[in-house]
Amino acid sequence: MLLALTIPPSADETITAGILVTVFRIPVSESESTSAALLDKMVASLMQRSDRPRNLRSERRSIAAGMTFDRVALRRDWNGQEIGMTIWATVRKGYLITITGTYSSNEGLVAIETLLMKMRDARSTEWLSQ
């Protein structure tokens, strides 16, 4: 499953942000893995690239969209510009749920976090917990 949202640019086009929600079935071989371990594995693969991320920060057990996630934030080059990315990950009933926020400024990150906080309503996240 895949869901992508884009927050429209601000009037001066300095604030842009996007959200990508993905749900992956966890392979049986990794069924005992925690979201932190799976997130660390994703980051490790990014670190092997020639354009590896910078300013990597991890936070365990953060709340987003009314659920507990492990979180990592980083900076990357994208089409000649530096962007920020925050990835939230949680494991539910054999699935890895990730929310990836991409933003061009701190205001973009605030917009993403505000949207996720508004999703705390149980009806908004019911589909994630099933």
Q: Which domains, ranges and CATH numbers included, belong to the chain?
A: 2-8+16-113 (3.40.1000.10)
- Residue 20 and residue 50: Cα distance in Å, rounded? 23
Average pLDDT over every residue of 52-77: 85
Confidence at residue 5, expressed as pLDDT on a 0 to 100 scale: 58
Residue 52 confidence (pLDDT) above 80: yes
| Tokens 């071989």 belong to residue | 29
Share of the chain above pLDDT 90, in %: 17
Strand 17-25 with 95-103, pairing: antiparallel
Q: How far apart (Å, rounded) are the C-alpha atoms in residues 1 and 7?
A: 20
| Rounded mean pLDDT, 24-37 | 87
Q: Tokens in use for 17? A: 């942000």
Indicate the pTM of the whole model: 0.77
Q: What mean pLDDT, rounded, does the chain reach?
A: 80
Report pLDDT for 123.
47
The set of residues, in sequence order, having a beta carbon less than 8 Å from that of 129 and lying 6+ positions away, is 67, 92
pLDDT at 113: 83
84 neighbors 109 (Cβ within 8 angstroms) = yes
**CB count, 10 Å around CB of 9?**
13
Q: What is the pLDDT confidence band of residue 29, given thresholds at 50, 70 and 90?
A: confident
CB 18 within 8 A of CB 4: yes
The mean pLDDT of 48-56, rounded to a whole number, is 88
The mean-pLDDT minimum among 2-16, 54-68, 90-104, 108-122 falls in: 2-16
